[in-house]
Chain A
Amino acid sequence: MRDVALAGALATEARDARARRTRRWMRRYWLAALGSVIVLAWILVAIVSPYVVPYPPEALDVTKRLLPPSSEHWLGTDLLGRDVFSRLLVGAQVSLFAGFTVALVGAAIGTLIGGVAAYTGGKVEELMMRATDLVLCFPPIILAMAIAAALGIGVTNTLIAMLIVWWPKFARLARSLVIVQRSQEYVEAAVTIGYGPGRILFRHIVPNSMGPLIVLVTLDVGQAILTFSGLSFLGLGVIPPTPEWGAMVSEGRELIQQWWVATFPGLAILTVVMGFNFLGDGVRDWLDPKSRTR
């Protein structure tokens, strides 16, 4: 009988402990959870939207220009009578694609340059890092604009322009991370085993430097989406009539009366960037050993 009571008490205690841990986890990560829900929702939208939107996003209907939101057109119509809701959902494709491409490819290029520079040192490092500084000297948006304008309008050209201004911050971060890891004793231990520089770099140093890079990439997807929308707003991103949020805001910017044309794509940009920021902050907290007490 006593044993049963004791077992019951222990079970209650274990349950309480689990509940306490869950509460603490929620307090620490609820924003990150919210961020990942937003991000996942937008990714889902980007994948399924072409099949489910009520109207084809590029279908013109001049008889229905600038209609306010109604049961027929949930978010109204734009200057050419296109359904804003449909364009908004399909627009997620371009934005997310641009965001992920720029952040991931930029990170890969930057990390490679920074990592190799830090590990080789000497003249090579000097040369690579001065090239990095050179790119960082220019205001990124202006430089990207200039390059995109020179290459011509279009998604690919805009992405290339963005990548050119994007990699240096990753190069700098990767270099400092590799320099920190390079002087760690476990790297010296790998030298005494007989490993060569390539194996040490990829087997020991890179895995231990990934944390901060992952954080920066996550935070950066939002940044890249914002920049891409900015370039589209300025008329450099997508070729009309492809739906894109920045371009949609641009089209609606003089229509004060028809507020829905610019507001909803603006809100879309806001939510997706915020989603990535919350997620990035969460990842940073999660990877930071100081915020996790063992």
Chain B
Amino acid sequence: MTSSPPLLDIRNLRTHFDTDEGVVRAVDGVSFEIAAGEALGIVGESGSGKSVTALSIMRLLEEPARIEGGSIVFRGRNIVTLSEDDVRRLRGGDVAMIFQDPMTSLNPVLRIARQLVEALLAHGRFTPKSARERAVRLLGRMGIPSPERAIDAFPHEFSGGMRQRVMLAMGFGNEPSLLIADEPTTALDVTIQAQILDLLRELNADFGAAILLISHDLGVIANVCNRVVVMYAGEVVEEGPTRDLLTNPRHPYTWALINAVPRLDRHVDGQKRLTTIEGAPPDPLHHPPGCRFAPRCPYRIAKCEEHPELLRVGEGRRARCWVTQAGRELPGRTEPQPAAKVHARAATVRDLAEKPILEVEGLVKHFPVRKETLFERRRFVHAVDGVDLAVEHGETVGLVGESGCGKSTVARLITRIHEPTAGAIRFEGRDIAKASRRQIRPLRRRMQMIFQDPYASLNPRMTVGEILAEPLRFHGITDGQAATRERIRELLALVGLSPRAADSYPHEFSGGQRQRIGTARALAVEPALIVADEPISSLDVNIQAQIINLFVDLQERFDLAFLFIAHDLAVVRHISERIVVLYLGKVMEVASSTELFEEPLHPYTVSLISAVPIPEVDVERARDRIRLAGEPPSATDPPSGCRFRTRCPIARKVCAEVVPPLAEHRPGHWAACHFAGELVPRSRLT
């Protein structure tokens, strides 16, 4: 397709890090090209070298990293050998880059105007006056309301999504021919992500700038990019048009990536296990001599002992795999079969007889805001404002919502890490909302929590054995040293870790392994309910799938009830029987998982579902989207009436006046909306 020379041509790029242990070959012979105006995606797990590739293009590497070899030819000039001055002229001029964290990429002490104008002036194309006018126009183009006023704001006055728009305005200021976006939406909520992805696509079309989009999310890539490069262990393992690559991967790693992600649009009830691949990526210090994916590959053959090259495997496609190069096909997506033993368990019989294990009623938590002046009225963050929910024995209930909706606070109220301001939490029939520490202590054996951050949730100064022994000793579960050690061995085996792990410290484990240790700690006391607060959101997709499978196994084995908190709707749909949707501290909708996704009643749920990108080009681009304008309002000063009305596409006058009650519209399907069911997406998901 390239008759003219490509805009960017990377050949055999090698970027290395010198560490105490040896040389880490983070990027090890990467080659690809980008045509003018093209949108190319790079996907891969953390540590695959995708970000280092981007930084190499910008020559933004710092000690101990260095470009060891290869060339990066941009418009006929090799960036690797350019002088520092020439590279500086290129950066922010013809090549712009935006980063993952919009909170740290703007200087907090300078006004937006100053930073934008500075970026425009740096390349000498504008006079100070014209630069300011252009900055205002750019902000407007990026969808920032009343840009004339916004330009004089400080970065902290903007939310994450708004800051990413400012970063985009800065990036496009000098009309670059290439924009590098490194996980630009990973730190944002799904509705904001949808806005930014739309904007990226428009900018690609309108400005004609080529986009290099780095992401771990195949749905995001499917939304924006025409072509994809898949990286693994510092190498490109597959390359091809997004549509073909996602429907028919030609490298087993790509195949595994695609299959490990639960799909919002392909759900079969009762099928809870995901396809995963064994093991972890190789140690970047010692890459295996043969195919780097071979040790984990389900399709490996004898020839995989040799290192394969990236060769053509079809129209516009290349793969680094002996199997597909020999013309063999990988199996299609493992279409979930409706399992014979549906996980509904003997639900009907028992659940009707028993009361729910957990019942929350009218739960409220207000955090006081620090007063800025002495005589100010005391103000509160309404983190949780009247939440009702119930979890049955052995059931998984998903709790979803965007950041700041109060879902983590709900988790910490139920586990009584915080004390609620008002409301009742009935756990196994006893109200623990106001119970003292001593009163709750025996109940702690029945209810445990799994935390979000596998790095922060384990005490770094204790061995895994000591961490697991704590709950055992404290509750007197095991009797004596030997029994404790035996139980720790059992627990480690239960979560798929070797018994030797007991003598190691948490930092010796990967994120996924630590999350297993956290799970073992929760299981130590044999609880009946586990509250899991975003337990997989910081893990790579394949590890996510492994942890989900572990949860499903444990649930079947021990008949556990889960309150599963997440922002990833596909994951929540995949493992939950019922789902509660939260917005600004209030429940918007409660329904069974199937019904919520197939017949959502609340406009917020409808927009949330429509914002999730789906990793298949035709599905993703053909979807009818409901775009939410703006950002969630502040929880210190929530809107009157319905909290969602400020962003709701169908809000009317009554919504500002009357708080809609959570009403049962169908059996078991509750929604808090005056006009429930009126907002319907034209194209259904399934």
Residues of B within 8 A of A (CB): 19-21, 64, 412, 415-417, 437, 440-441, 444, 447-449, 451-453, 456-461, 470-471, 474-475, 518, 521, 525
Cα–Cα distance between A204 and B521 once the two chains are bound (Å): 16
A193 in contact with B471 given A21-B20, A24-B20, A185-B453 (CB within 8 Å) = yes
Closest beta carbon of chain A to B358's beta carbon, Å? 14
Contact yes or no, A193 B444, CB < 8 A:
yes
**Chain B residues with CB under 8 A of A188:** 412, 417, 449, 451, 457
Least distance between A52 CB and chain B CB atoms (Å):
43
Is there contact, CB below 8 Å, between B456 and A186?
A: yes
Bound-state CA distance A185–B451 (Å) is: 7
**In the complex the two chains form, is B459's CB within 8 Å of A192's CB?**
no
B20 CB contacts on chain A under 8 angstroms? 21, 24, 293-294
Shortest Cβ distance from A195 into B: residue: B474
A contact residues around B448 at 8 Å (CB) = 192
> Which residues of A, 70-90, contact B by the 8 Å Cβ criterion?
none
Q: A24-B20, A192-B415, A196-B437 are in contact. Are A207 and B461 (CB under 8 A)?
A: yes
**B515 CB → nearest A CB, Å:** 12
13 more contacts with CB within 8 A, not counting A21-B20, A190-B459, are A24-B20, A185-B451, A186-B456, A188-B412, A188-B449, A189-B458, A189-B521, A190-B470, A191-B416, A192-B447, A194-B437, A208-B460, A294-B21
Q: Does A120 contact B (CB under 8 A)?
A: no
What CA separation (Å) do A294 and B474 show in the bound complex?
34
Q: Could you list 14 examples of A-B contacts with CB < 8 Å? A: A21-B20, A185-B453, A186-B456, A186-B459, A188-B417, A188-B457, A189-B458, A192-B447, A192-B448, A192-B449, A193-B525, A194-B475, A204-B459, A208-B460
Contacts of B461 in A (CB 8 A): 207-208
Alpha-carbon distance A21/B19, docked complex (angstroms): 11
Count of inter-chain pairs, beta carbons less than 8 A: 61
A257 CB–B CB distance under 8 Å: no
Residues of chain B lying within 8 A (CB to CB) of residue A207: 459, 461
Could you tell me which residues of chain A, from 262 to 294, have a CB within 8 Å of some CB in chain B? 293-294
10 interchain residue pairs of minimum CB distance: A185-B457, A185-B451, A194-B444, A185-B456, A186-B459, A194-B441, A193-B471, A192-B449, A207-B461, A293-B19
* B437 in contact with A189 (CB, 8 Å): no
Give the distance in Å from the alpha carbon of A204 to the alpha carbon of B437 in the complex.
Answer: 18
A194 to B527, CA, bound (A): 13
A108 to B19, CA, bound (A): 38
CB A253 to nearest CB in B, in angstroms, measures 47
Q: Which of A179-221 contact B (CB under 8 A)?
A: 184-186, 188-196, 204, 207-208
Give the A interface residue count (CB, 8 A).
19
- Across the interface, A208 reaches (CB within 8 A) one of B457, B459, B521, namely B459
The answer to whether A189 and B475 touch across the interface, beta carbons within 8 angstroms, is no
The answer for the CA separation of A184 and B525 in the assembled complex, in Å, is 22
A207 to B449, CA, bound (A): 23
**Chain A positions 158 through 192: 1 when the CB is less than 8 Å from some CB of chain B, otherwise 0:** 00000000000000000000000000111011111
State A185–B458 Cα separation when bound (angstroms).
7
Alpha-carbon gap, A196 to B444, bound state (A): 13
Cβ A189 vs Cβ B440 within 8 A? no
CB distance from A21 to the nearest CB of B (A): 7
CB distance from A289 to the nearest CB of B (A): 9
Q: A21, A189, A193, A294: which contacts B451 (Cβ < 8 A)? A: A189
List residues of chain B with CB within 8 A of the CB of A204: 459
A193 to B443, CA, bound (A): 10
Q: Is the CB of A193 within 8 A of B459?
A: no
Identity of the chain A residue whose Cβ is nearest the Cβ of B466 in the assembled complex: A203
* Majority DSSP secondary structure for residues of A touching B: helix
Task: Count chain A CB atoms within 10 A of each CB in B64, B412, B416, B461 and give the residue with the most.
Answer: B461
> Which residue of chain B has its CB nearest to the CB of A21?
B20
Considering only CB atoms, which chain A residue lies closest to B412 in the complex?
A188
Q: Assess whether A192 is in contact with B444, with CB atoms less than 8 Å apart.
A: yes
Inter-chain contacts of B19 with A (CB < 8 A): 293-294
Minimum CB–CB distance from A208 to chain B (whole Å) comes to 6
Distance in angstroms from B196 CB to nearest chain A CB is 29
User: Could you tell me the distance between the alpha carbons of A208 and B461 in the complex, rounded to whole angstroms?
Assistant: 7
B456 touches A184 (CB 8 A): yes
Q: Smallest CB–CB gap between A37 and chain B, Å?
A: 25
Point out the residues of chain B lying under 8 angstroms from A190, CB to CB: 459, 470
Report the bound CA distance from A193 to B234 in whole Å: 42
Contact indicator B457/A189 (Cβ below 8 Å) = yes
Residues of A within 8 A of B457 (CB): 184-186, 188-189
CA distance A102 to B447 in the complex (A): 47
| Shortest Cβ gap from A161 to chain B (Å) | 36
Alpha-carbon distance between A25 and B415 when the two chains are bound, in angstroms: 47
Chain A nearest Cβ from B642, distance in angstroms:
33
Q: Write the nearest CB–CB distance from A147 to chain B, whole angstroms.
A: 33
Chain A residue with minimal CB distance to B470? A193
A194, B459: Cβ atoms under 8 Å?
Answer: no
Bound CA span A27–B457, Å: 35
Q: In the complex, which residues of chain B have a beta carbon less than 8 angstroms from the beta carbon of A21?
A: 20
**Is the beta-carbon distance between B417 and A194 smaller than 8 angstroms?**
no
Q: Which residues of chain A from 1 to 30 have a CB within 8 Å of any chain B CB?
A: 21, 24
Smallest Cβ-Cβ distance to A211: which chain B residue: B461
Hey, which chain A residues are within 8 Å of B458, CB to CB? 186, 189
Task: Name the distance in Å between A190's Cβ and chain B's nearest Cβ.
Answer: 7
**How far, in whole Å, are A191 and B440 apart by their CA atoms in the complex?**
11
Bound CA–CA A294/B19 (angstroms): 8
- Min Cβ gap A277→B in Å is 26
Determine the chain B residues whose CB is within 8 A of the CB of A194 once the complex forms. Answer: 437, 440-441, 444, 474-475
Q: Which residues of A contact B456 (CB under 8 A)?
A: 184-186
Q: With A185-B451, A208-B459 known to touch, is A193 a contact of B474 (CB < 8 Å)?
A: yes
A133 to B677 alpha-carbon distance, docked (Å): 59
| CB proximity of A120 to chain B, nearest CB, Å | 15
The residues of B that contact A185 with a CB separation of less than 8 Å are 451-453, 456-457
CB distance from B524 to the nearest CB of A (A): 9
Smallest beta-carbon distance A130→chain B, Å: 15
- A207 to B463 Cα, complex, angstroms: 13
Q: Can you name the residue of chain A whose Cβ is closest to the Cβ of B445? A: A194
**Within the complex, what minimum Cβ distance (angstroms) separates A184 from chain B?**
5
Residues of A within 8 A of B474 (CB): 193-195
Q: CA separation between A188 and B417, bound complex, in Å?
A: 7
* Nearest CB on B from A58, distance (A): 49
Cα A101 to Cα B587 with chains together (Å):
59
Q: A191 CA to B460 CA in the complex, in Å?
A: 17
> How far, in angstroms, from A37 to B138 measured CA to CA in the complex?
62
Please, which residues of chain A bring their CB within 8 A of the CB of B471?
Answer: 193
A50 → chain B closest CB, angstroms: 41
Residues of B contacting A195 with CB < 8 Å? 474
Among the interface residues B440, B448, B456, B518, which one has the most CB atoms of the partner chain A within 10 A?
B456
Chain A proximity of B523: nearest CB distance (Å):
13
Chain B residues, CB < 8 A from A191: 415-417
B449 partner residues in chain A, CB cutoff 8 A: 188-189, 192
What's the nearest-Cβ distance from chain B to residue A89, in Å? 41
Quick one: closest A residue to B22, CB to CB?
A: A17
Q: How far is the CA of A184 from the CA of B451 in the complex (A)?
A: 10
List B contacts of A294 (CB < 8 A).
Answer: 19-21
Q: How far is the CA of A189 from the CA of B444 in the complex (A)?
A: 11
Q: Which residue of A lies closest to B437 (CB)?
A: A196
Interface centre among A24, A184, A193 (most CB of B within 10 A): A193
How far is the CB of B420 from the nearest CB of chain A, in Å? 15
CB distance from B634 to the nearest CB of A (A): 21
B460 and A192 form a contact (CB under 8 A): no
What's the nearest-Cβ distance from chain B to residue A271, in Å? 32
